[in-house]
């Protein structure tokens, strides 16, 4: 099952991705994680990315798509994967579609979690992220069993530096300008599943698996 989790920052992508990982036993592919891994492993693409980062420049899409290509070719992706945080723009989506076509794979479903901006700010400022495995929790909507301790690996839960009101509003503006147009792109491809992300976490999860056909 090749999946993508899509939605505004704070929509619950990280939370729902964990349930997908548990059910299908497939890896979550986050561009930030694979970029850091490629640099640590000193792959060709990782070293190319590091050159741009050392110069204080954004890593170009061509390099990112190269790193994604390397990651999708790994053995643990043969049974499927979950893309999280990529693509963010229409050109990236088109490049990803071309890459996957070249590799003989395709997206089965794109899961869009729809949450209005008015709820996003409260969600993000209450978010807690595991310092070890990256699992996402929320003090109100999805609390950990033990306060400030991850349910999955017992790592310490932290508040991300960018989880503040000003930064959230800026990120939402960027999302609506750059990323929201991808809804139409994936709808046209026939793989978009739109879910009401304002429901309780368990209900969103149930709706998601029903929509997938699990």
Read off the pTM: 0.77
Active site residue 88: yes
pLDDT the model gives residue 143? 93
Residues 83, 53 contacting (CB under 8 angstroms):
no
Catalytic choice (18, 109, 127, 128): 127
Active-site residue (options: 97, 171, 194, 199): 171
Q: What is the mean pLDDT of each run of 10 residues along the chain (214 residues)?
A: 91 89 92 84 87 82 90 94 90 94 95 92 86 88 92 94 84 88 94 94 95 84
Catalytic residue status for 36: no
- Can you say whether the dihedral through the CA atoms of 95, 24, 26, 153 is positive or negative? positive
Query: Strands 192-196 and 109-114: what pairing?
Result: parallel
Q: Which of 156, 160, 169, 210 is catalytic?
A: 160
13 part of the active site: yes
Distance linking the first and last C-alpha atoms of the chain: 11
pLDDT tens digit sequence for 66-103? 989 999 999 999 999 999 888 989 999 999 999 999 99
Whether residue 71 lies in the annotated active site: no
Give the integer Cα–Cα distance in Å for 185 and 130: 33
Q: Which listed residue (88, 97, 194, 199) is catalytic?
A: 88
Beta bridge mates, 195: 113
CATH number listed for the domain at residues 2-116+179-212? 3.40.50.300
Q: Structural domain boundaries of the chain? A: 2-116+179-212
Integer angstrom CA distances of residue 206 from 22, 32, 114, 144: 14, 28, 15, 20
User: Which tokens is 74 given?
Assistant: 């790994």
Q: Which of 13, 71, 109, 123 is catalytic?
A: 13
Q: How far is CA 44 from CA 33, 138, 177, in A?
A: 16, 38, 32
pLDDT of residue 214: 64
Check: CB of residue 82 under 8 Å from CB of residue 15: no
């Amino acid at each position: 099952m090749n999946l993508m989790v899509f939605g505004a920052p704070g929509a619950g992508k990280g939370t729902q991705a964990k349930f997908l990982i548990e059910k299908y036993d497939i890896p979550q592919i986050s561009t930030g994680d694979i970029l850091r891994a490629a640099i640590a492993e000193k792959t060709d693409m990782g070293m190319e990315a590091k050159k741009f980062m050392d110069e204080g420049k954004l890593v170009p899409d061509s390099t990112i798509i190269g790193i994604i290509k390397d990651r999708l070719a790994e053995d643990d992706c043969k049974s499927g994967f979950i893309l999280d945080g990529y693509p963010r723009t229409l050109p990236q989506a088109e490049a990803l579609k071309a890459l996957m076509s070249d590799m003989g794979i395709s997206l089965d479903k794109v899961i869009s979690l729809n949450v209005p901006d008015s709820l996003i700010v409260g969600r993000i400022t209450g978010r807690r992220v595991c310092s070890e495995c990256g699992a996402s929790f929320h003090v109100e909507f999805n609390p950990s069993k033990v306060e400030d301790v991850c349910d999955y690996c017992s790592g310490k839960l932290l508040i991300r530096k960018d989880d503040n009101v000003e930064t959230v509003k800026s990120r939402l503006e960027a999302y609506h300008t750059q990323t929201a147009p991808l809804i139409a792109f994936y709808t046209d491809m026939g793989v978009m599943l739109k879910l009401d992300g304002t429901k309780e976490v368990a209900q969103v999860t149930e709706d998601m698996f029903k929509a997938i056909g699990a």
